Each structure stands twice: as C-alpha cells, then as structure tokens.
Amino acid sequence: MSITKEQVTDALSNVIEPDLKKDLITLNMVRDIEIDGKNVSFSVVLTTPACPLKALIERACINAIIHFVDESANVTVNMTSDVTSKRKDDKALLPGVRNIIAVASGKGGVGKSTIASNLAVALAMDGARVGLVDADIYGPSAPIMFGLENQRLAVHEIDGKAMMEPVLKYGVKVLSIGFMVDPSKAIAWRGPMASRALTQLFSDAVWGDLDYMIIDLPPGTGDIHLSLVSTVPVTGAVIVTTPQQVSVADAIKGISLFQMDAINVPVLGLIENMAYFTPAELPDNKYYIFGKDGGKKLAEKLGINLLGQIPIVQSICESGDNGRPVVLDEGTPSNFAFMEMARNVAQQIAIRNANMEPTKIVQPVN
C-alpha cells in the first residue's frame, strides 16, 4: 500500500514542539509534504534558525513516520525557519525588524558588550538576519570589538533625508554611537541629547529586514533605557552579571527596571559572565574566582531563566581587543558556550512570542 499525505500528517500530529507544547501540525510547522514510493520528505518550519531543539525535533519526526506509517520509509526532513514576531505597534520605526532585544547590566565591566557582540554574531552564524545597535554612549565598544575603529559612516539621501548605513561585519549589521561622534564628547551629553542620539540610530538608519536587533545598552538604569522603551517596542531584555555579590545586587536593579508596571518588558533571562576559570592546560578544572553560581542562584531566586554561564577565557578578552568576536572560532569551548547561550536566547524569544502579548511602547510622562 502506498503512503498517503494524510498518514504523514496524522503521524506528525504526534510530534510535540517541546517549548510551545503543541503538536507540529496544530502549530502549522509542517510544509511541502512529498511522497514518492517509500520516500517521504517534508519541511519543518521552526520559530528560529538558532533552535536548540532542532536535532531533537528532526529525530522525532523521522521516528513518527517510521513508527506510525511505514517502518521501511525513507524520511527526509528539511529543517527551515521563519522567525516569529509579536509587534503590534504602528511600526513607524524599524518596520522590518521582528524582535528587538535589549542587553543590559547593573554594573559596567561585567562583559555586557562582549555578550551582546557574541550573541549577535552567534545568531547570524545560525542563519538569522541580525543587527547590533551599540547604544552605550558612555563607552561604545562595538567599533573595537568588530574591528571598525576607523570606519567612516556611509550616509545616503533617501526621500530628502540623510540616512546612515549600518556596517556589515561577520554577518551582522552594526551601528554604533561611536561611529557618529567622538566617544570622549558623548560622555558629557545630558539626557535629552543622549536620547536624541539613540532615536537617530533607529529613525535615521537603513536597517531593512532583521530577525533580531540586539541593543547594547549603557550599564545601570538611566535615561537611555527609558528612551529606548519609549521609542521602540522591546521584545525582551537579557541581563548580564558576574557572580560577585556587588554585581548580582546591581543586576536585580536592572531586572526590576524592565519589570516595572509602567515599562513591562519581558525579562528573557540572565547571563552569568566570568562564571569560572579553566586553565587551557587543565581543561577539567574549574576555578570559581568570583564565587560559584552567583548568577545561577539569582535566576533561581527571581524565577527567571539562566541563559548561559560563560567562562573566563583569555581569548574572549583578546578577541574583543582584536576586533573579532571569539564565537567565530568554531570548535573552541568559547564558541560552544556562546552558541548555546544564543540558542537559549532565541528559544526564549520564540516562547515569549507564542505566549505573551506584544510589548507596548511606554508613553513618556510629562
């Protein structure tokens, strides 16, 4: 008896997407079913190309056909993706951007920019369309971390308006406040000037279509954070901390800002940076120089996700200084740590989009 499309659909309705907790057929994730004798092929459209469950879902699809349809079937699954979005604003700004992710920290120097850069590059390495906005007006670091210190900003006139062109590097469209002004001048900006500069990064730049726009915020909880949430709808925030108590205490303040009723930006989770040190010559040893699991314990206490524990590695620091994010070095422990972190972030964005309301732009209080 020949295999029918209906049999394939029925079988795949037994495969549950573990994050969204519904089956693939109900979620409309299966497309293009083709049958030729014993050969069965179809596409599964995931919610992100950086899905950490990709291999698991593929395996479950193959097993379902073999188990429910024909044990001698030859199954080919084409794993693709269409990144989800939950925007319902008027899209006056960034109309082609599906998800806007703020990367924040309570303190400076905890590795927020390192995390933002490697997150952006990792998502691009998995096939997503990614932009990075370096909004850290007090210490823009994207120019150094992406090797773009001498970059001259290209400006085009579009419909009579001068528009900045983000720079494409390592698969990521990068725009830094450091490309616009001498950072030593930006540091003296008062609130309104800084806010205006932030808005220009969105309104006066050609961003096009992006799956993820990563925003590297200044440390702390200041004017720029408030400008951001009152300018664009932020899909979610990622908070970076180191394990020490001083950093953890400030991370709590960062988290509370996004969770305030008036702001209400979903906190996707916490990243513990500099979680431990492993000497290259003793790869099985972990030294908890700044204390053990400070970020992990905080995530547990607040009931938020721990998205990654990134070790202290000399090459993370060196690659930042050399203008080449370390995640690009495939096969290294740093690459694994950052890819896993980025996939966890992408997973939480997909879950957020499936289960929560769109973020509202905060109306400024006058």
Which residues of this chain interact with ligand ADP, rule CB under 6 A?
A: 105, 108-114, 141, 219, 273-274, 310, 312-313, 316-317, 320
Nearer Cβ to ligand ADP (144/206): 144
Residue 276 φ/ψ, nearest 5 degrees: -165, 165
Contact 163, 206 (CB under 8 A): yes
Shortest Å, Cβ 319 to ligand ADP: 8
Nearer Cβ to ligand ADP (97/116): 116
Task: Give SS3 for 210.
Answer: strand
Shortest Å, Cβ 273 to ligand ADP: 5
Task: Give SS3 for 172.
Answer: strand
Shortest Å, Cβ 129 to ligand ADP: 24
Shortest Å, Cβ 73 to ligand ADP: 46
Shortest Å, Cβ 9 to ligand ADP: 46
Nearer Cβ to ligand ADP (127/220): 220
Nearer Cβ to ligand ADP (48/242): 242
CA distance linking residue 25 with residue 73, whole number of Å: 20
Nearer Cβ to ligand ADP (114/359): 114
Inter-CA distances, 17 with 14, 159, 327, Å: 10, 45, 28
Shortest Å, Cβ 139 to ligand ADP: 6
CA distance linking residue 122 with residue 326, whole number of Å: 10
Shortest Å, Cβ 91 to ligand ADP: 30
